[in-house]
C-alpha cells in the first residue's frame, strides 16, 4: 500500500515535470519557428531585392527595411523585455493594475513581459528584481510592497544599466529609479473631504460624525487618504469618531463595521472606507445591523478605488461617492519607456488622471486647493468602460 502510494506520488510528480518541460519547450519551439520565419522573410526580401536591383534599387531597399522592421517586431531579439514585480493580488484594484500591464506590454505590442506576483512578500519582491537583472531585461517595473530597503537592489539595477520605473507605491530611501508613475493619494483624501463639505452644505447637514475604516496601516494609500480627509475634517471642525484598519479587505471591513455599529449606534452619519472591498464588507455589516446607508439615507458612504463592482454599487444607490485611484498605470509607463527609447528624460514624478464618481443627485461642485473639480456621473457606459 505504502509502495503503491509512493509510486503514484512519484509518477504524478514526473508527469507534472514532463508537462512543465513540454510547455516550456513548446514555447521555445514556437519562438524559434517565428524567428526562422522572419529570417526567411528577410532573406526572401533580400533575394528579391537583389534580382530586381538594376530595375528599382529604391523599392528593394524599402522591402529590406520592411522585412527588417517585421523581424524587429516579432522575433525575440527585437522585443523590448520588461520585468514587472507586482505586489500581489489583494484586491480588484491590484488585479486591474496587473491586467493593464499584461495588456499594454503584450507580445503583439512588441514587448516581452516577465510578470512576478510577489504575494505581499517584500523579500520575494527583491529576489524577483534580482532575477530580472540576471535575465538581463531592458526595463524593470516595481510596485514596491514597502517603501524602504531598496537602495542596494536599485544600485544593482543601475550597475547593470537597467532603468527602473516605480509605479503606484513609493520608494523613500533611494532615488535610483528613472520615474515614478502613480496616484496622488493626498489629493484623493482631500477630494473626499471637499466633496463631503459641499454635499453636506447642499443637503443642510450641520454636523458630521465620521467613522473611518482605513487601509493597511503604513501603506502610502492609507496615509495619503487619511491625512487628506483629516485635513479637511480638522478645518471644518468635523468629528472623526474612530479610525481602525480593515486591511483593504472585505472581511476586515465587515468585522470593523460590525463593531462600529454597536459602539457608535445612531451616532454616526458618515462612513469612509479606504477601498471598495472594505466598503463591500461595511455594507454587509450595516445591512445586518439595520443601518440604512447611501444617497437619501442617514449614513453617507464614501469609498475609494472606484473599481467596476464599486461603481455598480454607486449606480445602485449604495455608495454615495467613489473616488478613483487609477490602476491603469501601464499606458503611462509605456509613455515613459518610449521617452527613454528615444533618448529623452522623462519626468521624475508622473501623476495619473483620476475621476470622482457619483450619481447626478450627489454631484456637487467643489475645489481642491483652489483647483475646480468636475465629477463624473456613473452610467452603464462608464461602468462598462471601467477596469
Closest to other proteins by CB, 244 vs 339, is 244
The least distance separating other proteins from the CB of residue 218, rounded to whole angstroms, comes to 9
Q: State the DSSP code for 299.
A: B
What Cα–Cα distance (Å) separates residue 384 from each residue in 41, 153, 233, 309, 312? Answer: 41, 40, 34, 10, 10
Q: Which is nearer to other proteins, 55 or 262 (CB)?
A: 262
Tell me phi and psi for residue 63, to 5 degrees. Answer: -60, -45
Whole-angstrom CA distances from 39 to 46, 107, 140 are: 10, 18, 29
Query: What is the smallest separation between the CB atom of 90 and other proteins, expressed in angstroms?
Result: 5
Q: Largest Cα–Cα distance of the chain, in whole Å?
A: 91
Nearest distance in Å: CB 124, other proteins: 11
CB 85 within 8 A of CB 118: yes
CA 19 to chain centre: 32
What CA–CA distance (Å, rounded) separates 112 from 313? 37
Nearer to other proteins, 249 or 362 (CB): 249
Pick from 296, 295, 311: nearest CA to 355: 311
Residues 6 or more apart in contact with residue 313 via CB below 8 angstroms: 276, 279, 280, 283, 303, 319
Contact residues for other proteins, defined by CB under 8 A: 2, 5, 88-92, 95, 98, 117, 119-120, 214, 217, 242-245, 247, 249-251, 254-256, 258-259, 262-263, 280-281, 287-290, 309
Smallest gap from residue 40 Cβ to other proteins (A)? 36
Query: Judged by CB, which is closer to other proteins: 151, or 265?
Result: 265
The CB-of-167 to other proteins minimum distance in angstroms stands at 17
We find the least distance from the C-beta atom of residue 235 to other proteins, in angstroms, to be 23
- Grid cell 496587473 is found at 98
Amino acid at each position: 500500500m505504502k509502495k503503491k502510494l509512493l509510486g503514484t506520488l512519484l509518477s504524478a510528480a514526473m508527469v507534472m515535470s514532463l508537462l512543465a518541460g513540454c510547455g516550456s519547450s513548446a514555447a521555445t519551439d514556437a519562438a524559434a519557428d517565428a524567428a526562422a520565419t522572419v529570417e526567411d522573410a528577410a532573406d526572401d526580401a533580400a533575394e528579391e531585392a537583389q534580382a530586381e536591383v538594376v530595375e528599382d534599387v529604391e523599392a528593394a531597399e524599402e522591402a529590406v527595411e520592411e522585412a527588417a522592421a517585421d523581424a524587429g517586431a516579432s522575433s525575440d531579439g527585437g522585443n523590448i523585455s520588461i520585468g514587472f514585480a507586482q505586489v500581489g493580488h489583494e484586491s480588484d484594484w491590484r488585479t486591474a493594475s496587473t491586467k493593464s500591464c499584461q495588456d499594454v506590454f503584450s507580445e503583439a505590442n512588441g514587448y516581452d513581459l516577465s510578470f512576478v506576483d510577489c504575494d505581499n512578500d517584500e523579500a520575494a519582491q527583491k529576489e524577483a528584481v534580482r532575477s530580472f537583472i540576471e535575465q538581463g531585461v531592458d526595463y524593470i517595473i516595481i510596485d514596491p510592497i514597502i517603501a524602504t530597503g531598496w537602495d542596494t537592489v536599485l544600485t544593482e539595477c543601475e550597475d547593470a544599466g537597467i532603468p527602473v520605473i516605480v509605479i503606484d507605491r513609493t520608494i523613500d530611501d533611494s532615488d535610483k529609479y528613472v520615474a515614478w508613475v502613480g496616484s496622488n493619494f493626498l489629493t484623493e483624501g482631500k477630494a473626499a473631504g471637499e466633496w463631503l463639505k459641499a454635499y453636506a452644505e447642499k443637503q443642510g447637514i450641520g454636523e458630521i460624525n465620521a467613522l473611518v475604516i482605513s487601509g493597511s496601516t503604513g501603506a502610502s494609500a492609507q496615509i495619503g487618504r487619511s491625512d487628506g480627509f483629516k485635513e479637511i475634517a480638522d478645518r471644518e471642525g468635523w468629528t472623526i469618531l474612530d479610525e481602525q484598519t480593515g486591511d483593504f479587505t472585505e472581511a476586515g471591513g465587515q468585522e470593523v463595521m460590525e463593531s462600529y455599529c454597536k459602539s457608535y449606534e445612531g451616532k454616526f452619519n458618515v462612513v469612509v472606507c479606504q477601498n471598495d472591498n472594505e466598503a463591500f464588507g461595511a455594507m454587509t455589516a450595516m445591512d445586518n445591523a439595520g443601518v440604512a446607508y447611501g444617497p437619501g439615507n442617514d449614513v453617507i458612504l464614501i469609498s475609494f478605488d472606484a473599481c467596476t463592482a464599486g461603481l455598480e454599487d454607486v449606480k445602485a444607490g449604495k455608495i454615495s461617492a467613489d473616488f478613483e485611484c487609477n490602476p491603469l498605470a501601464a499606458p503611462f509607463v509605456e509613455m515613459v519607456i518610449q521617452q527613454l527609447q528615444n533618448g529623452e528624460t522623462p519626468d521624475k514624478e508622473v501623476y495619473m488622471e483620476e475621476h470622482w464618481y457619483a450619481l447626478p443627485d450627489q454631484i456637487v461642485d467643489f475645489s481642491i486647493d483652489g483647483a475646480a473639480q468636475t465629477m463624473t456621473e456613473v452610467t452603464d457606459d462608464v461602468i462598462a468602460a471601467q477596469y
